[in-house]
A and B are shown apart, each in its own frame.
Chain A
Amino acid sequence: DAGVIQSPRHEVTEMGQEVTLRCKPISGHNSLFWYRQTMMRGLELLIYFNNNVPIDDSGMPEDRFSAKMPNASFSTLKIQPSEPRDSAVYFCASSVRGYRKSDTQYFGPGTRLTVL
Protein backbone atom coordinates (compact mmCIF):
# COMPACT_ATOMS: atom_id res chain seq x y z
CA ASP A 1 0.00 0.00 0.00
CA ALA A 2 1.20 3.50 -0.75
CA GLY A 3 2.13 5.58 2.24
CA VAL A 4 1.67 9.30 2.65
CA ILE A 5 2.92 11.10 -0.44
CA GLN A 6 4.40 14.58 -0.31
CA SER A 7 5.62 16.84 -3.06
CA PRO A 8 7.95 18.39 -3.76
CA ARG A 9 10.64 16.64 -1.73
CA HIS A 10 12.89 19.67 -1.90
CA GLU A 11 12.03 23.29 -2.57
CA VAL A 12 14.39 26.22 -2.79
CA THR A 13 12.84 29.62 -3.23
CA GLU A 14 13.59 33.26 -2.68
CA MET A 15 12.17 35.40 0.05
CA GLY A 16 8.80 36.82 -0.87
CA GLN A 17 7.80 34.01 -3.20
CA GLU A 18 4.75 31.84 -2.71
CA VAL A 19 5.38 28.23 -1.76
CA THR A 20 2.85 25.41 -2.00
CA LEU A 21 3.44 22.05 -0.40
CA ARG A 22 1.25 19.10 -1.30
CA CYS A 23 0.16 15.97 0.50
CA LYS A 24 -1.80 12.85 -0.38
CA PRO A 25 -2.81 10.88 2.73
CA ILE A 26 -3.09 7.12 2.97
CA SER A 27 -6.30 5.93 1.36
CA GLY A 28 -9.03 5.44 3.94
CA HIS A 29 -7.48 7.72 6.53
CA ASN A 30 -9.79 10.46 7.78
CA SER A 31 -7.33 12.73 9.55
CA LEU A 32 -4.44 14.71 8.13
CA PHE A 33 -1.73 16.60 9.97
CA TRP A 34 0.92 19.13 8.97
CA TYR A 35 4.05 19.33 11.12
CA ARG A 36 7.18 21.45 10.87
CA GLN A 37 10.60 20.34 12.04
CA THR A 38 13.38 22.80 12.86
CA MET A 39 16.50 22.56 14.98
CA MET A 40 15.27 25.34 17.24
CA ARG A 41 11.73 24.13 17.89
CA GLY A 42 11.79 20.43 17.06
CA LEU A 43 8.63 18.85 15.66
CA GLU A 44 5.56 20.99 16.05
CA LEU A 45 2.01 20.60 14.81
CA LEU A 46 0.84 23.35 12.48
CA ILE A 47 -2.71 22.23 11.70
CA TYR A 48 -4.82 19.14 11.45
CA PHE A 49 -7.97 18.16 9.61
CA ASN A 50 -10.59 15.59 10.48
CA ASN A 51 -12.88 14.53 7.62
CA ASN A 52 -11.47 17.43 5.57
CA VAL A 53 -12.44 20.01 8.21
CA PRO A 54 -9.72 22.00 10.01
CA ILE A 55 -9.93 21.13 13.71
CA ASP A 56 -6.91 22.79 15.28
CA ASP A 57 -4.86 25.46 13.53
CA SER A 58 -3.39 26.98 16.65
CA GLY A 59 0.09 26.01 15.53
CA MET A 60 -0.03 27.97 12.30
CA PRO A 61 2.64 30.63 12.78
CA GLU A 62 0.87 33.59 11.21
CA ASP A 63 -1.37 34.73 8.41
CA ARG A 64 1.28 33.97 5.84
CA PHE A 65 0.49 30.28 6.34
CA SER A 66 -2.69 28.68 5.07
CA ALA A 67 -3.81 25.09 4.61
CA LYS A 68 -6.63 23.49 2.70
CA MET A 69 -8.07 20.05 2.29
CA PRO A 70 -10.54 20.17 -0.61
CA ASN A 71 -11.12 16.40 -0.53
CA ALA A 72 -10.15 13.28 1.36
CA SER A 73 -7.13 12.59 -0.81
CA PHE A 74 -5.38 15.93 -1.07
CA SER A 75 -4.14 18.77 1.08
CA THR A 76 -1.97 21.83 0.53
CA LEU A 77 0.06 24.03 2.83
CA LYS A 78 0.78 27.44 1.39
CA ILE A 79 3.21 30.09 2.54
CA GLN A 80 2.79 33.54 1.04
CA PRO A 81 5.08 35.44 1.19
CA SER A 82 7.85 33.13 2.29
CA GLU A 83 10.63 34.25 4.62
CA PRO A 84 14.04 32.74 5.45
CA ARG A 85 12.78 31.73 8.91
CA ASP A 86 10.27 29.42 7.23
CA SER A 87 13.13 27.17 6.17
CA ALA A 88 12.40 23.77 7.70
CA VAL A 89 11.26 20.26 6.90
CA TYR A 90 7.49 20.06 6.59
CA PHE A 91 5.86 16.72 7.27
CA CYS A 92 2.41 15.55 6.43
CA ALA A 93 0.88 12.66 8.38
CA SER A 94 -2.42 10.82 8.25
CA SER A 95 -4.35 8.53 10.55
CA VAL A 96 -7.70 6.88 11.15
CA ARG A 97 -9.35 8.70 14.03
CA GLY A 98 -12.49 7.93 15.92
CA TYR A 99 -13.89 5.80 18.69
CA ARG A 100 -11.82 2.64 19.08
CA LYS A 101 -9.74 3.57 16.08
CA SER A 102 -6.00 3.18 15.97
CA ASP A 103 -5.19 6.84 15.36
CA THR A 104 -1.55 6.10 14.76
CA GLN A 105 -0.09 8.86 12.63
CA TYR A 106 1.93 7.74 9.62
CA PHE A 107 4.27 10.30 8.18
CA GLY A 108 5.25 11.21 4.67
CA PRO A 109 8.88 11.66 3.63
CA GLY A 110 8.75 15.40 4.22
CA THR A 111 9.46 18.47 2.12
CA ARG A 112 12.72 20.26 2.83
CA LEU A 113 12.07 23.96 2.25
CA THR A 114 14.87 26.48 1.92
CA VAL A 115 14.00 30.15 1.62
CA LEU A 116 16.93 32.30 0.54
Chain B
Amino acid sequence: AQKVTQAQTEISVVEKEDVTLDCVYETRDTTYYLFWYKQPPSGELVFLIRRNSFDEQNEISGRYSWNFQKSTSSFNFTITASQVVDSAVYFCALSEADDRGSTLGRLYFGRGTQLTVWP
Protein backbone atom coordinates (compact mmCIF):
# COMPACT_ATOMS: atom_id res chain seq x y z
CA ALA B 1 0.00 0.00 0.00
CA GLN B 2 1.18 3.49 -0.78
CA LYS B 3 2.31 5.24 2.38
CA VAL B 4 2.17 8.70 0.85
CA THR B 5 -0.44 9.76 -1.66
CA GLN B 6 -0.35 12.90 -3.70
CA ALA B 7 -3.56 12.71 -5.66
CA GLN B 8 -2.86 15.76 -7.81
CA THR B 9 -0.57 14.75 -10.62
CA GLU B 10 -0.48 18.16 -12.28
CA ILE B 11 -1.69 21.62 -11.33
CA SER B 12 -1.58 24.75 -13.48
CA VAL B 13 -2.16 28.23 -12.14
CA VAL B 14 -1.58 31.76 -13.28
CA GLU B 15 0.95 33.90 -11.48
CA LYS B 16 -0.26 35.45 -8.21
CA GLU B 17 -2.87 32.76 -7.64
CA ASP B 18 -2.73 30.75 -4.43
CA VAL B 19 -2.32 27.01 -4.81
CA THR B 20 -2.54 24.09 -2.38
CA LEU B 21 -0.79 20.78 -2.90
CA ASP B 22 -2.36 17.86 -1.09
CA CYS B 23 -0.57 15.08 0.74
CA VAL B 24 -2.17 12.17 2.57
CA TYR B 25 -0.06 9.66 4.45
CA GLU B 26 -0.54 6.29 6.09
CA THR B 27 1.37 4.89 9.04
CA ARG B 28 0.74 2.87 12.18
CA ASP B 29 3.54 4.57 14.07
CA THR B 30 2.77 7.22 16.66
CA THR B 31 6.06 8.95 16.00
CA TYR B 32 6.90 9.90 12.46
CA TYR B 33 8.17 12.77 10.37
CA LEU B 34 6.79 14.44 7.29
CA PHE B 35 8.73 16.32 4.66
CA TRP B 36 8.23 18.37 1.54
CA TYR B 37 10.84 18.56 -1.20
CA LYS B 38 10.92 20.63 -4.37
CA GLN B 39 12.36 19.37 -7.66
CA PRO B 40 12.79 22.25 -10.13
CA PRO B 41 13.37 21.63 -13.83
CA SER B 42 17.12 21.46 -13.18
CA GLY B 43 16.48 18.16 -11.40
CA GLU B 44 17.89 18.51 -7.91
CA LEU B 45 15.79 17.75 -4.83
CA VAL B 46 15.54 20.69 -2.48
CA PHE B 47 14.43 20.25 1.13
CA LEU B 48 11.61 22.59 2.14
CA ILE B 49 10.27 21.51 5.52
CA ARG B 50 10.27 18.76 8.16
CA ARG B 51 7.52 18.23 10.76
CA ASN B 52 7.25 15.67 13.52
CA SER B 53 4.02 13.93 14.44
CA PHE B 54 3.74 15.67 17.80
CA ASP B 55 3.76 19.17 16.40
CA GLU B 56 0.54 20.03 14.64
CA GLN B 57 1.14 23.74 14.53
CA ASN B 58 0.86 25.19 11.09
CA GLU B 59 4.03 26.69 9.73
CA ILE B 60 4.55 29.69 7.53
CA SER B 61 7.72 30.63 5.71
CA GLY B 62 7.32 33.60 3.44
CA ARG B 63 4.84 32.64 0.73
CA TYR B 64 4.88 29.00 1.82
CA SER B 65 2.65 27.51 4.49
CA TRP B 66 1.94 24.00 5.68
CA ASN B 67 -1.16 22.57 7.29
CA PHE B 68 -0.63 19.37 9.28
CA GLN B 69 -3.78 17.56 10.45
CA LYS B 70 -3.34 14.20 12.16
CA SER B 71 -7.10 13.65 12.24
CA THR B 72 -7.15 13.40 8.45
CA SER B 73 -3.53 12.18 8.03
CA SER B 74 -2.81 15.13 5.80
CA PHE B 75 0.10 17.49 5.40
CA ASN B 76 -0.87 20.04 2.78
CA PHE B 77 1.33 22.71 1.29
CA THR B 78 0.09 26.12 0.17
CA ILE B 79 1.92 28.63 -1.96
CA THR B 80 0.49 32.13 -1.72
CA ALA B 81 0.80 34.54 -4.64
CA SER B 82 2.52 31.96 -6.81
CA GLN B 83 5.39 32.95 -9.08
CA VAL B 84 6.81 31.42 -12.24
CA VAL B 85 9.88 30.32 -10.26
CA ASP B 86 7.62 28.09 -8.16
CA SER B 87 7.13 25.83 -11.18
CA ALA B 88 8.50 22.45 -10.13
CA VAL B 89 7.56 18.98 -8.99
CA TYR B 90 6.77 18.90 -5.28
CA PHE B 91 7.19 15.72 -3.27
CA CYS B 92 5.73 14.86 0.09
CA ALA B 93 7.58 12.20 2.09
CA LEU B 94 7.18 10.20 5.30
CA SER B 95 9.79 8.80 7.64
CA GLU B 96 8.74 6.45 10.42
CA ALA B 97 10.52 6.46 13.78
CA ASP B 98 11.23 4.27 16.77
CA ASP B 99 9.92 4.81 20.28
CA ARG B 100 12.72 7.26 21.07
CA GLY B 101 11.85 9.41 18.12
CA SER B 102 14.83 8.43 16.02
CA THR B 103 13.90 7.98 12.40
CA LEU B 104 14.19 4.56 10.85
CA GLY B 105 15.98 6.08 7.87
CA ARG B 106 13.85 5.21 4.88
CA LEU B 107 11.92 8.05 3.25
CA TYR B 108 8.68 7.07 1.56
CA PHE B 109 7.92 9.51 -1.23
CA GLY B 110 4.64 10.33 -2.91
CA ARG B 111 4.58 10.38 -6.71
CA GLY B 112 4.83 14.15 -6.76
CA THR B 113 2.71 17.02 -8.04
CA GLN B 114 3.87 18.92 -11.09
CA LEU B 115 3.08 22.59 -10.51
CA THR B 116 3.18 24.94 -13.48
CA VAL B 117 2.81 28.65 -12.87
CA TRP B 118 2.06 30.66 -16.00
CA PRO B 119 3.01 34.33 -16.31
Measured between alpha carbons, how far is A18 from B111 in the docked complex, in Å?
Answer: 30
Is B44's CB under 8 angstroms from A104's CB?
A: no
Residues on B lying within 8 angstroms of A by beta carbon are: 33, 35, 37, 43-47, 50, 91, 95, 100-103, 105-107, 109-112
Q: Closest CB-CB distance, B6 to chain A, in whole Å?
A: 10
Q: Closest CB-CB distance, B54 to chain A, in whole Å?
A: 13
Most buried by B among A35, A102, A107: A107
Contacts of A43 in B (CB 8 A): 91, 107, 109, 112
Contacts of A102 in B (CB 8 A): 50
Is A103's CB under 8 angstroms from B95's CB?
A: yes
Q: Can you list 15 pairs linking A and B with CB atoms under 8 Å apart?
A: A35-B107, A43-B107, A43-B112, A45-B106, A56-B105, A93-B45, A97-B102, A101-B102, A102-B50, A103-B33, A104-B35, A106-B47, A108-B44, A109-B44, A110-B45
Tell me if B's interface is mostly helix, strand, loop or mixed: loop
The residue of chain A having its C-beta at the shortest distance from the C-beta of B35 within the complex is A104
**Chain A: interface residue count, which band?**
20 to 34
Is A97's CB under 8 angstroms from B103's CB?
A: yes
Contacts of B45 in A (CB 8 A): 91, 93, 107, 110
Is A107's CB under 8 angstroms from B44's CB?
A: yes
Q: With A42-B112, A102-B50, A104-B35 as given contacts, are A97 and B44 in contact (CB-CB < 8 Å)? A: no
Contacts of B43 in A (CB 8 A): 89, 109-110, 112
**3 closest cross-chain pairs (CB), A and B:** A107-B45, A43-B109, A103-B103
Is A45's CB under 8 angstroms from B102's CB?
A: no
A31 within 8 A of B: yes
Contacts of A101 in B (CB 8 A): 102
| Contact among B44, B50, B95, B112 with A110 in the assembled complex (CB-CB below 8 Å) | B44
Measured between alpha carbons, how far is A112 from B44 in the docked complex, in Å?
Answer: 11
A55 within 8 A of B: yes
Measured between alpha carbons, how far is A55 from B103 in the docked complex, in Å?
Answer: 13
Contacts of A66 in B (CB 8 A): none
Is B105's CB under 8 angstroms from A48's CB?
A: yes
